[in-house]
Amino acid sequence: MTTPVTDTPGVPDAKVAVPVISASHLDLTFQTADGPVHALSDITLDIAKGAFVSFIGPSGCGKTTFLRCMAALETPTGGALSINGMPPDEARRARAYGYVFQAAGLYPWRDIGRNVALPLEIMGYSKAEQRERVARVLDLVELSAFENKFPWQLSGGMQQRASIARALAFDADILLMDEPFGALDEIVRDRLNEELLRLWDKTHKTIAFVTHSIPEAVYLSTHIVVMSPRPGRISDVIESPLPRERPLDIRDTPEFIEIAHRVREGLRAGYQE
């Protein structure tokens, strides 16, 4: 397995690492029929290599928009944004990130293996390499036994795992996840959260993760970015003191509850303004 070298694997404090995602005074205004909508306002944030950053906030706070800016799916109207030291669109063309959407979006006409191979086919990997990589990432998300099954034969949670495998297949250092577990029930979500942490630990990816759920954000992240709407902005950045190893019952510890409380306070403050 070839994983990119991170500075200090296993150490949760990512402050010393180089920022892979860097935004300064980022602005984005959509021109709509009802007049301009200020989606992002003065966003300044550095995300270090190997960090797991969650974006949490109410609808319309711009968290998804910010993620889409990183992916060059939206173009900011002001400020600067760099991904791996490149402008986002260049980073996109360099295939610097894998993107996971809220819906798995697997092709019904391809089996799971071929779905995961889709980006590899497009990027021109050889057949042998495709097979090797598909096997590896399916193993990573524990779907090896389902390589030849079709999406409709899998549960929603399994489909989402397959879509994560698809995003991992081409070894981008950055994983952008837009509410990937938002449509799943809580039990499945817990399990996938646990798996995602293990995956992050194994692969040393930098993950930007958009969510609605406070427990999910606190459980997963090294950094929690609390955002508030109209205009979309960052109201708090919380660095989690939780260890890198996180069993599910860490959610009952006082530290966990305290961070969750702080996130909730931050969200409330954003609403009151």
Shorter beta-carbon distance to another protein: residue 16 or 123: 123
Closest approach, Cβ 161 to another protein, in A, equals 16
C-alpha–C-alpha distance, residues 206 and 52, integer Å: 6
Q: What are phi and psi of 271, to 5 degrees?
A: -70, -40
Site membership for another protein, residue 30 (CB under 8 A): no
Q: Is the peptide bond before 231 cis (omega within 30 degrees of 0)?
A: yes
Site membership for another protein, residue 107 (CB under 8 A): yes
Q: Closest by alpha carbon to 54, among 195, 253, 215? A: 215
Which residues are CB-contacts of 130 (< 8 A; sequence separation ≥ 6)? 117, 120, 121
Closest approach, Cβ 116 to another protein, in A, equals 13
User: What sign for the dihedral angle of Cα 269, 230, 21, 69?
Assistant: positive
And the tokens for 185?
A: 């029930």
Q: Which of 98, 231, 232, 266 binds another protein (CB under 8 A)?
A: 98
Q: Which of 40, 67, 71, 225 binds another protein (CB under 8 A)?
A: 71
The helix-helix angle for 156-168 and 127-140 (nearest 10°) equals 130
Beta-bridge mates of residue 228: 233
Q: Which of 85, 105, 241, 243 binds another protein (CB under 8 A)?
A: 105
Do residues 162 and 104 touch, judged by C-beta distance below 8 A?
yes
SS3 of residue 98 by DSSP: strand
Site membership for another protein, residue 108 (CB under 8 A): yes
Shorter beta-carbon distance to another protein: residue 55 or 99: 99
Closest approach, Cβ 105 to another protein, in A, equals 6
SS3 of residue 32 by DSSP: strand
Side-chain-side CA neighbours of residue 36 (13 Å): 8
Shorter beta-carbon distance to another protein: residue 37 or 118: 118
Q: Which of 38, 92, 131, 230 binds another protein (CB under 8 A)?
A: 92
Q: Which of 15, 25, 95, 268 binds another protein (CB under 8 A)?
A: 95
Part in contact with another protein (CB under 8 A); list of ranges 16-24, 48-56, 149-157, 212-220: 149-157
Site membership for another protein, residue 151 (CB under 8 A): yes
Closest approach, Cβ 151 to another protein, in A, equals 7
Q: Which of residues 109-138 bind another protein (CB under 8 A)?
A: 109, 118-119, 121-123
Residue 160 CA: distances (Å) to CA of 84, 89, 143, 157: 26, 26, 11, 5
Shorter beta-carbon distance to another protein: residue 16 or 94: 94
**Footprint of another protein (CB under 8 A):** 71-73, 92-93, 95, 97-99, 101, 103, 105, 107-109, 118-119, 121-123, 150-152
